Structure 1
């Protein structure tokens, strides 16, 4: 399929009045290209593999598919959405809850690592959620503790599947998938299609409908500048560039956790309010840092790719690659954050 399909109204889809209530509450009217191409097949129960960039409307696409098949009267987990990071899982969980506001008695649980285990175990012991959104490590842990039951799952979603493989989650994903019923619907969304994704799709999906949606943003809309500098001069140059361009908000990407902290310390010497964001932090600390960055009390966020996955900041003025990533796809994903609006 190509991405030049005409836009359609949500009203043209076979959606229940309950789901249309959620669509209306979110202010959605026209389908985005990925929704127009993927949703009809998803609602028919077909497996789908979709290549779609962040911000293309993919969460609503698989969310409406998931919720259309859930029976809120049946106290059993019926849909599982796997995400690479806590931030993305929280984001997906919030959007699914909004879409499901017209469905009474629906329990949706977000189950991620980095959060206390005891409250999650207590919630699952009360009764099974109909929809689970989570990260592979925590889902695997809850399955091994026999606290999470997936024998009733009829829809599996892998969101940002390429990033999950990059982060080393393939074994966990395969173990989780092995616990699911064979007769299920599989939906896979990925910004890129490396060989590992194709292999995983071959093992998990049955005769999938393939959807490809190019980014709606023209790359020329983003101004890219390159500076060649000695390693020891990188931080002074970074400070000088921030003083010259004075972006209201800026994300500086590093490849290693320790580098994020070193850059923050160096920028502090130059008078900048900068904060580090990396995967080893407790969730409450990450949430506080993201809140401070979003409300502009901190203007520079120095982040690793893992921590920034799922980061959704409006009107991001600048992205700095303090270190170049190891592959082109990650580079495009990083700099594309300035073009999301």
Structure 2
């Protein structure tokens, strides 16, 4: 029987907030790590994406925050902008039981000046990428001398991306008597060396690093290089996923596939590293909102994309590394739900599938794509439309304000309103397609918190 959060020595308000957010029973990594972390121990946590590790370090750092002290007290380092944004969002949710906790996100793709201005007004928690945090260190816009909790999230990925020097510089500016929590999906020698350098007698905790058999069904199909696009069509026609992420190794492939599927009538968008941050944010949000069906992406999305119920991942090309494959398919089959991974490979890529099988301690079979029976492509329209409001946290807009504007004077049925995401300078709300036009007119002609804001349909 999984342990309850009520078994932890947490304030009643925090337990109530956890319950409201759906945190009833602890996951494996939470049950193993939280008792040690809350006692102040350094940790090395090895767990797969989607295992609940964010809550481990968020609950730990929040327990030690002094809300009256607006100096940075906790620092979370992440490999990507997307993961940083999602971690910051989850910390804010878990911090609702305490008033006035400020979480600042520092990542690239955005100008330094507004971030520096935000830091001037104080921040309890900083979440960001090593490169951008070092930029602020160089500009003397950040102080780390009061950090009591340091988190290295997805440390293996940060080392793969060459952040070791940046991480070392950042950590050197934090107090020596701090708590350091390191989380990694894999545990290579580089991680051991990183831990030895920056942690004190860490306790190692491990949840199952690979997806358990049966949670994600994996199917692989052999095709020639020239028929790969047609093979993708065959997979979509046969399996008919209501939603899927299609992974490519290069952005040129992302563009080719996105254009191809769009011409076939699919609701599809692209995501790659050269897109502006605002554009990437909008794509992420729309996909979470079920406002388009197919996301074609490079591995920029492999670790940052957090979708509660993604039925399918398609590897248009197998990655060069088995660990990357694990992180890709980790987008599906989450929270105990069943998922599906579909793989395309050529003769020259069969060794990649073999390596992936070795990493999973199983043998992955494949068949030729022509073995699938012929089926008709049947693109479907997504269930929702996302509306973008030109106001976010900076304007003190909250999800409840938007919901109230829609369901109050706007007369929109609350059941037609889906997820609401409030970012720094914009807010996004999912609306059932049948009610989208009415909702857009409602927000254009009405007010949110007594103010008019620009609104558009994405």
CA distance in 1, matches of 2:289, 2:69: 41
CA distance in 2, matches of 1:104, 1:338: 35
1:201-240 aligned at under 5 Å gives the runs 201-214=195-208, 217-240=211-234
The C-alpha deviation readout for 1:249-270, integer Å capped at 9, x for no partner, is: 1111111222211222233343
Q: 1:123 aligns with which of 107, 118, 122?
A: 118
How many Å apart are 1:215 and its aligned residue? 5.3
Any conservation in 2 of the 1:19–1:68 contact (CA below 8 Å)? Answer: no
Any conservation in 2 of the 1:279–1:307 contact (CA below 8 Å)? Answer: no
CA distance in 2, matches of 1:335, 1:105: 37
Aligned partner of 1:60 in structure 2 is 55
Any conservation in 2 of the 1:18–1:100 contact (CA below 8 Å)? Answer: no
Q: Runs of 5+ in structure 1 lacking a partner?
A: 1-5
The answer to whether the aligner puts 1:107 opposite 2:93 as a matched pair is: no
The C-alpha deviation readout for 1:90-109, integer Å capped at 9, x for no partner, is: 21111111221122232211
The C-alpha deviation readout for 1:175-194, integer Å capped at 9, x for no partner, is: 11111111111001111112
Q: 1:293 aligns with which of 273, 278, 287?
A: 287
Higher relative contact order (CA 8 A, sep 6+): 1
Aligned partner of 1:23 in structure 2 is 18
Any conservation in 1 of the 2:186–2:209 contact (CA below 8 Å)? Answer: no
Structure exhibiting the larger radius of gyration computed from Cα positions: 2
The C-alpha deviation readout for 1:248-300, integer Å capped at 9, x for no partner, is: 11111111222211222233343333221112211211122223323334222
Aligned partner of 2:373 in structure 1 is none
Q: Give TM-score, length-normalised by structure 2.
A: 0.70
Q: 2:68 aligns with which of 73, 79, 87?
A: 73
Q: Which stretch of structure 1 is more off in the superposition, 23-32 or 152-161?
A: 23-32
How many Å apart are 1:199 and its aligned residue? 1.3
Change (3 A) 1:31 1:223: closer
Alignment size in residue pairs: 335
How many Å apart are 1:147 and its aligned residue? 0.5
The answer to whether the aligner puts 1:85 opposite 2:80 as a matched pair is: yes
The answer to whether the aligner puts 1:260 opposite 2:257 as a matched pair is: no
Superposition CA RMSD, Å: 1.8
Aligned partner of 1:3 in structure 2 is none
CA distance in 1, matches of 2:132, 2:180: 20
The secondary structure found in structure 2 opposite 1:219 is coil
Aligned partner of 1:278 in structure 2 is 272
Q: 1:241 aligns with which of 225, 235, 245?
A: 235
Q: Give TM-score, length-normalised by structure 1.
A: 0.93
